[in-house]
Amino acid sequence: MLLLLFPLLVRGLEQDGGFGCEPCGVWPANTGAKINGVKRRIVGGQEVKSARPWMVYVEITAVQSGHKFHCGGAIINRRFVLSAAHCACDALPCRIDEAKDELHIDYKPEDHLMIYVGFRDAKSRSTNRDNVYRVIEAKVHEKYRQDFHDLALLKTDRLIKFGPSVSPICMPMGPQFPDHGHGKGFVAGGGHIKNQVCHTDVFGPEPFSQCAFPFTWKNRTFRDCAVGVPTPASDSPQCSEARKKNPKLFDTPAAHIVLKKGQKSFTSCFGFNAGATGWCATCANTDNTADPNFCSAQKPDAKSPAVARPTSSWGICKPNCRPGAQSTTSRLREVKLTIFDSSNCSVILRRSNSSYNLDTELCAGRVNRRAIKAIDVSTGKLTSDRDLLFIGGQDSCLGDSGGPLWKVFGAKSPTAFIIGVVSRGLNCANNDAPGIYARVKMYLDWIFKHASSGSCRKVKRRLTLTSSDEEKASSNAGDDSVMKSAYTMELI
């Protein structure tokens, strides 16, 4: 195997993992904790059973209304938490210094920002006052404007007390740190575990899409998912005819069948039975307000409901679409995502008209596979199978803002390195709409300039990250990714 070595000279740093705070990035594998087999949480993710000691809960109190909001964040040394700029500015006043074209906060952070550490359940976060800190300084990136440069540093009123459930995450060690295009990353937080509005699941012609209510089908109007009603696929003459020879194949929600005559495909069919969750019409990905499935705060409505078609504009409802389903959780939860390279991010996000900076941002999401079967209608026989790949179903969501995206390296002592900060996305876990993260390694000079007062001590250590290291560590974390190269990083 070709071995590529990247010795990194990081100016002014002699710290292991950035600030000399040891240990940093303590991963559950170090203590024998397991991640597999836990409850599904987040937006398609899982509940955390063991500590992510760098995770913090940031409580935000609005200036005038006194309403409380929350964000995530990551401990990076004894005095500082790295979070998102929009957490410090969206519900609180910030101002632009026109002369310098710089953004600054316009409030006293100690009156509006609190940090809770060492928690896995937000409900119990305040039981130990030693784990509660006021923020005495909030430094937002000067160039933050709604989207880009979405970073903030929050300084605590005293030294953060480290222990088994409280310790920092490791920092990337330079601009060549392997933060994307090399497998999986993790994100955790305490926001929503489902979208605030009903979405479709992985099955049907429109996976991971927002349901459009109300909608009409066969002279009936539905304001919720259509349960016990055959899907629009059943209204296709070609699909109904093909079903006569293969009824079992068509009667599951997961069905995706291409009808062929010889080598030529002529239509797609989907499951006739939506199962217990039902199905819904879906919002169109368009700015055309004349489209009946265009969605806004006003549309669709009773006068102009959305519509479904046999091969498009509908999908199978997620289980949590049912009334009363849980939308948030106080428990910390985590999701494993594929980190896409910048060129792929740019292509994917262009489809949803999302802004994206190739240099200063990362994007990540869940890659799904769906089996597609092909039937020759002349014989009624299956002719081939193939997989359809698409993105969606798992993501960070509202309330997870400011939390870290990290990768794990090392076989013997798996260690977590922060590579991104949750910034924004198109709703949560939508189809072909990965989450966008501020790319930490591109802001190291800014971070160390403003957070160096929280450094622990100076150390010298050589850290080598190899393909076998990440493969084994990723295996421990349920990751099947393999790095193609080795990275040797030396802090001097």
C-alpha torsion angle, residues 78, 80, 82, 86 (rounded to 10): 160
Tokens standing for residue 316: 């199978």
Strands 184-189 and 404-409: antiparallel
Q: What is the spatial distance between Cα 60 and Cα 166, in angstroms, rounded to a whole number? A: 21
Q: What is the pLDDT along the chain (492 residues), one digit of tens a residue?
A: 233 333 333 333 333 456 888 889 987 754 333 333 222 223 444 555 667 899 999 999 999 888 998 899 999 999 999 999 999 998 899 999 988 889 999 999 999 999 999 876 666 665 678 899 999 999 999 999 878 999 999 999 999 999 988 999 999 988 889 887 657 899 887 654 444 678 898 889 998 888 999 999 999 999 999 999 999 999 999 999 999 988 988 998 888 999 988 778 888 999 999 999 999 999 997 888 999 999 988 889 989 999 999 999 999 998 878 765 544 556 777 888 888 888 778 777 766 667 788 899 998 888 777 788 888 888 778 776 776 665 654 445 544 789 999 999 887 888 999 999 999 865 554 556 678 899 999 999 999 999 999 998 754 444 445 433 444 444 444 333 333 333 333 332
pLDDT at 30: 43
Distance CA 229, CA 253 (A): 12
- Residue 390: predicted pLDDT: 57
Both tokens assigned to 165: 């459930």
- Judged by phi (left if over 0) then psi (alpha if -120 to 50, else beta), residue 446 lies in alpha
Nearest to 156 by CA among 142, 141, 146, 168: 168
Spatial neighbors of 249 by CB under 8 A, at least 6 apart, are 243, 255, 257, 373, 375
Pairwise CA distance, residues 147 & 144, whole Å: 7
DSSP state of 450: H
Cα dihedral 468, 473, 478, 483, rounded to 10, equals: -40
> What pLDDT is attached to residue 355?
79
Report pLDDT for 44: 42
Give this prediction's pTM: 0.76
DSSP 70-87: EEEEEE-SSSEEEE-HHH
- Side chain identity at 65, as an amino acid letter? S
pLDDT of 211 reads: 93
**What Å distances lie between residue 158 and 20, 403, 472, CA to CA?**
18, 21, 38
Q: How far apart are CA 340 and CA 181, in angstroms?
A: 5
- Give residues with Cβ within 8 angstroms of 295, minimum separation 6: 210, 212, 283, 284, 306
Q: Which of 107, 129, 110 lies closest to 118 in space, CA to CA?
A: 129
Name the H helices within 313-355.
Answer: 342-350
- Predicted pLDDT of residue 389: 62
Go through the domains of the chain in sequence order and give each one's CATH number: 28-195+394-490 (2.40.10.10), 215-391 (no CATH)
Pull the structure tokens for residue 250: 């068509």
- Tokens 């250590």 correspond to 461
Which tokens sit at 419? 């590579």
pLDDT at 182: 57
Euclidean distance between CA atoms 308 and 281, whole angstroms = 5
Cα torsion angle, 6, 11, 12, 17, sign: negative
Q: Output the pLDDT for position 346.
A: 76
